[in-house]
Amino acid sequence: MNFSEHLLQLRKSKGLTQTDLALEIGVSWRAYQTYERGQRDPSLPTLIALADFYNLSLDELVCRKR
């Protein structure tokens, strides 16, 4: 699973819309949409906000495996 697919899966598991999640992490709906589509990578502060929201490490969030 790649990062954008993971974002989609996480959001749907919480029953949130893209707009709901964008408001929670402080970005626009359009910006968030580009992350789920894999068109753009979020900034580090946005990645941290996402990891905090989902209570995940950054490695877990971005599907990093060692």
Q: How far is Cα of residue 14 from the mean position of the Cα atoms in its chain?
A: 12
pLDDT at 45: 97
The string of pLDDT tens digits covering residues 37-56 is 999 999 999 999 999 999 99
How many CB atoms are located within 10 Å of the residue 45 CB? 11
pLDDT at 1: 87
State pTM to two decimals: 0.92
pLDDT at 37: 97
The string of pLDDT tens digits covering residues 1-28 is 899 999 999 999 999 999 999 999 999 9
pLDDT beyond 80 at 66:
no
DSSP letter (8 states) at residue 36: H
